[in-house]
Amino acid sequence: MDPALLRERELFKKRALSTPAVEKRPTESASHKKKKAKADKEGSSGSKHNADPNFSLKALTGSSGYKFGCLAKIVNYMKTRHQRGDTHFLSLEEMLDETKLLDIGMKQKQWLISEALVNNPKIDVQDGKYAFKPKYKLRDKKSLLRLLDKHDQLGLGGILLDDVEEGLPNSAKAIKTLADQIIFVTRPDKKKVLFYNDKHCQFVVDDEFQKLWRSVPVDSMDEEKIEEYLKRQGISSMQETGPKKVMPVQKRKKPGGQKKRRFKTHNDHLAGVLEDYSEGVPAKK
């Protein structure tokens, strides 16, 4: 081979090695872009399912919240079916079928049967079957009226509208029918309380009795004295059930201002020997 060509070849290799090379990044292919767009779409749909309370509980499989999520879904479903009038008992398999929880394992089923459903205050268990257990078992508008009348006669006050809606199937229709026999009172926390409207107590009081009532002075009596008087007469006073405002505790200031800080003294056994030079050297006697 020609020596001149060999020399030119070696020089070309040296120049190529000394010149830095910049690698050009390959552009994304169309298929890669489609896969990325599909993944973003699935991620956004997953966040929507998490916001939905009725999403599938498969996402919680393997986590500690999976079984409690199943329990919450079952209790909410039993409450909903009770409110629409379906009060008959269901077996565990029927509840799982209607709540679409057929994919749970035997370990979770055993936990529901032995612990969760039995100890839940909102679930009633009879002969291995389950139903919703409201605070007040109400069948119709007559049972609601009897319950309100009983509370009024015993001085127990009213009943929360939430408890009535929880225990009475089709409660809105029943309450609308009994509108003239029920008194609604709204508490400070915006919750409504139902009271029995006893029409036998609606009478006209004579003006003379009204004047006598208003002439009795009660300025010197506080609430405690009035409550004690009612107890002596065999009358129970109604206690406030609304939320109480907690007043912030104010720290009391110590009398006399701040105390002077005391420093620990040393060498007490040399009290008559040592001299204080903090204000300069004392004059010689």
Q: What's the residue count for the chain? A: 285
Residue 258 one-letter amino acid: Q
Which of 132, 158, 179 is the C-terminal boundary of a domain? 132
116 and 149 inside one domain: no
150 and 87 inside one domain: no
Task: Please state, in angstroms and rounded to a whole number, the distance separating the CA atoms of residues 109 and 54.
Answer: 20
Q: Residue range 107-130: average pLDDT?
A: 87
Q: How many CA atoms lie within 13 A of 113 on its CB side?
A: 14
| Element housing 41 (H / E) | helix 30-51
Task: Please name the residues in contact with 66: beta carbons below 8 A apart, sequence gap of 6 or more.
Answer: 57, 60, 108
122 and 91 inside one domain: yes
Is the residue at 44 inside a domain? no
Is the residue at 111 inside a domain? yes
Number of domains within the chain:
2
Is the residue at 7 inside a domain? no
Question: Is the pLDDT higher at 55 or at 27?
Answer: 27
Task: Look at 16-25, 142-151, 177-186, 187-196 and tell me which has the smallest mean pLDDT.
Answer: 16-25
Q: What is the pLDDT of residue 66?
A: 79
123 and 163 inside one domain: no
Is the residue at 188 inside a domain? yes
What range does the domain containing 119 cover? 57-132
Is the residue at 270 inside a domain? no
Stated pTM of the model: 0.47
**Residue recorded with tokens 């090379």:** 21
pLDDT in tens, 41-84: 555 544 444 444 444 444 444 456 777 888 889 999 988 888 88
194 and 145 inside one domain: yes
**Mean pLDDT, the chain, as a whole number?**
75
123 and 170 inside one domain: no
pLDDT in tens, 199-251: 777 778 888 888 888 887 777 777 888 888 888 888 876 666 555 666 666 76
Which of 101, 132, 163 is the C-terminal boundary of a domain? 132
Is the residue at 220 inside a domain? no
What CATH number is associated with residue 76? 1.10.10.10
Q: What is the pLDDT of residue 29?
A: 58
Is the residue at 113 inside a domain? yes
pLDDT in tens, 154-180: 888 888 888 888 888 888 888 888 888
